[in-house]
Structure 1
Amino acid sequence: MFPGCRTSVKYMRLSPGLHRYFAGVFLLEIEVDGDGLVEDFVFPDWATFRFSHAPPAVANPGGSAQVGGCQFSVAGPRTQEIYLRTGSVRQWGAVIHPSGWAELIGEPADRYTNGLFDGRSTPAFEKFRPLAETLFGQEADPDGEFKRLTSFFEAVESVDDPAVDKIAKIHIALFDPEIETVAQLGDRVGLSRRTLERLCKRAFGFAPKMVLRRHRFMRSLARFTLDPSLKWIGAMDPTYHDQAQFVRDFHEFMGMTPTQYHQLAKPVSEPMMRERVLYLKERAREWVPDSAWPEDNRAA
């Protein structure tokens, strides 16, 4: 039995200049009764910076070594869940989409796939350490913290990547559920299979086939989170051939079956997913066709 837990997630409106880097920036506040700890499994995602006010959470991606006691952590692009164990915490998160990775980090993303890193000691993230050191004051100040975070990234020196527009086109194409194969993706963005493979590994962290599989799975998980009355058969993306294929993907990406996941308490991941999907749906209306979004607010 876990202690009582109240989770607040707020996605912030970003200036157009920061959309080039981030899929979203959020403030996560977890309040756990007493000195208790709660556990959860965080869904696969793009690379994410997390800046925590003490005490930070302890996370364990896909059974690998834990990173705890770290006020600046970086999760690489993920196809695996992250086990989370935490007490009360305030944390700013910045989800870095693939073209943002190319411009901010400038190193091959597949070197960091499914990894969790201490930003204070990993050379690739050295230029972001000053933000970790100055983001929080003695008292909670969400407006001031957000201003310091955005001002930092607006001034940060980006990497000049000539392929960034192609990477962005690939990312946008993923929101079209009619793109089911690598060949269709290549045709949509006008790239050869070899170039598509190279850019996906470098900026997305994995090969195009895995990029499509993960995006299809996340559409299903998002539908279920927003409307559990659908049950899994109703939330399952229509591009799955059958339920068995979906169950195999679920086990690969989340380390458990859909039934096991449904039975878990999700004090952190459920509100995170819900707010993330609603935020992305609102923002993506600007550049994703309406056909990419299911009706009745069941966001993909």
Structure 2
Amino acid sequence: MDVQDITGGTETPGIPPSLFDMRPGMAIRYDAPDPRLADYVTGYHLYAASGPGAMGLENWFLPGTANVRVTLNAGPIAVSIGRFRSDPLPQASLFGPTSHAIHTVTNGGAMIGFGISALGWSRFFDGPADRYADRIEPLSAAARPGFADRLVTLLSAVRDEHGVKPALDRFLLAELGPRVADEDQIRSIARMVTDDRPNAVADTAAEWGLSPERLRRLCKRHFGFVPKTLLIRARFLRSLVPLIEAKGDLDYSRIDPGYVSASHFLRDAHAVLGTTPRRFLHAQTEFLVASLRARAAVLGSATQALHRL
């Protein structure tokens, strides 16, 4: 795949190409997976940059679910998640579930990836998700034997961006593991995380007759974090994304009603972003802003962490 020929966009009917417009040399693309994968894969994404402006390019991305990513024809990439740093990024990598913003420094090339929901984690990975929380590992060290090599071979043979979705659909349907006994509970917990309702943790535990410790173990194994962290991440992103999309002056009256005050929201901002929302939005967020807009149009949610099953 020639990076310079990647234009980005989607073939999804009804979505105007202008939603994917970026400056020359940069492109993004999102695609929905096969419906049979919809509960397990949150979407496919492709980021590309070429030319002089692609060298030393900094970008920020929001925390979310786990992701598998493969780079093609790419220069060195450095990624930081909180205090964790991967430099250089492996060609095929697993980004574990994240509770901190992700900072990248890239040097041109293409990155193809797919998001893994908690249900997807139970189907594609054998180890507990919390082992990889806020970390990046070589995919070969985290996935089942041969998974990483098969994926790199597959994507290296894709001729253009239009072939990414069908190739990944075939691959992931073939790699999908058996249903686990906890699947219905995982689905219920996922809805608890994305639904904005009081007493969500207690209601979910009561619905399934789960002890607090059992609920905590399920969340750590399949989501990567304890329930409190998952709920804080969702509440923060429900507040931050509208602020990003609004442009102009930040209006904290729009934050999630779960926050008792703006200072409460700002404390979470420091924990998740490492800075204030205002300073974060003045950083290099070109890919972030474009991806929020494009992902919402194609996949229905601006961020993976708020993706509904």
Fold shared by both chains (TM-score > 0.5): yes
* Residues 102/245 of structure 1: CA separation in 2 closer, same or farther (3 Å cut): same
1:40: which partner in 2?
A: 59
Indicate yes or no: 2:110 matched with 1:90.
yes
The TM-score, its normalising length taken from structure 1, stands at 0.84
Matching residue of 1:240? 259
Structure 2 unaligned runs (5+)? Answer: 1-22
Q: Which residue is 2:100 aligned to?
A: 80
Query: Match of 1:94, as an amino acid?
Result: F
Taking a change above 3 Å as real, the CA distance of residues 282 and 34 of structure 1, as seen in their structure-2 partners, is: closer
Letter in 2 for 1:154: L
Residue by residue over 1:136-158, the C-alpha shift from the partner in whole angstroms, topping out at 9 and shown as x without a partner, is: 23x85122232221111011140
Q: Which amino acid in 1 is paired with 2:34?
A: S
Opposite residue 275 of structure 1, the aligned amino acid is A
Q: Distance in 2 between matches of 1:283 and 1:236?
A: 16
Give the equivalent residue in structure 2 for 1:106. 126
Partner SS state of residue 143, structure 1:
helix
**Is 1:182 equivalent to 2:196 in the alignment?**
no
Q: In structure 2, do the counterparts of structure 1 residues 5 and 197 end up closer, same or farther at CA, with 3 Å as the change threshold?
A: farther
Match among 38, 41, 44 for residue 22 of structure 1: 41
1:276 aligns with 2:295: yes
Which moved further from structure 2: 164-173 or 110-119? 164-173
Query: How far does residue 254 in structure 1 lie from its aligned partner after superposition?
Result: 1.1
Confirm or deny: 8 A CA contact 1:43 1:81 kept in the other structure.
yes
Out of 122, 129, 153, the position equivalent to 1:133 is 153
Measure, in 1, the Cα distance between the counterparts of 2:227 and 2:248.
32
Deviation of the 1:132 alpha carbon? 1.3
What RMSD in Å do the two structures reach over aligned CA positions? 2.7
Matched, 1:144 2:163: yes
Q: Which residue of 2 aligns with 1:294?
A: none
Query: TM-score scaled to structure 2, two decimals?
Result: 0.82
Residue from 240, 259, 275 that aligns with 1:221: 240
Residue in structure 1 matched with residue 30 of structure 2 by the alignment: 11
How far the C-alpha of 1:6 sits from its partner, in A, is 4.9
Task: Check the 8 A contact 1:106/1:159 in 2, yes or no.
Answer: no
Q: Return the offset for 1:188.
A: 5.8
**Does 1:262 pair with 2:281?**
yes
Is the 2:293–2:302 contact (alpha carbons within 8 Å) kept by the matching residues of 1? Answer: no
Residue of 113, 120, 139 corresponding to 1:119: 139
Which residue of structure 2 aligns with residue 53 of structure 1? 72
Q: What SS does structure 2 have at the residue aligned with 1:41?
A: strand
Supply the distance in 2 between the matched residues of 1:288 and 1:257 (Cα, whole angstroms).
27
Q: Aligned to 1:231, what secondary structure does the other structure show?
A: coil
- Separation in 1, partners of 2:171, 2:113: 14
| Contact 2:188/2:204 (8 A) holds in 1 | no
- Equivalent pair of 2:42/2:117 in contact (CA under 8 Å): yes
CA distance in 1, matches of 2:125, 2:86: 23
Tell which deviates more after alignment, 44-53 or 68-77: 68-77
Q: Distance in 2 between the 1:5 and 1:165 partners?
A: 45
Supply the distance in 2 between the matched residues of 1:32 and 1:217 (Cα, whole angstroms). 35
Q: Distance in 1 between matches of 2:243 and 2:298?
A: 16
Rounded to whole Å, the distance in 1 between the matches of 2:74 and 2:170 is: 25
Asked if structure 2 preserves the Cα contact closer than 8 Å seen for 1:42 and 1:269, the reply is yes
In the alignment, which of 263, 266, 269 is matched to residue 250 of structure 1? 269
Q: Does 1:158 align with 2:199?
A: no
Q: C-alpha displacement at 1:32, in angstroms? A: 4.8
> 1:197, CA displacement in angstroms?
1.1
Q: Deviations over 1:221-260 (max 9, x none)?
A: 2212222247240441111111111111111111111121
Matched residue of 2:156: which SS?
A: coil
Could you tell me which of 86, 100, 115 is aligned with 1:66? 86
Change (3 A) 1:288 1:161: closer
The code of the aligned residue for 1:151 comes to: R
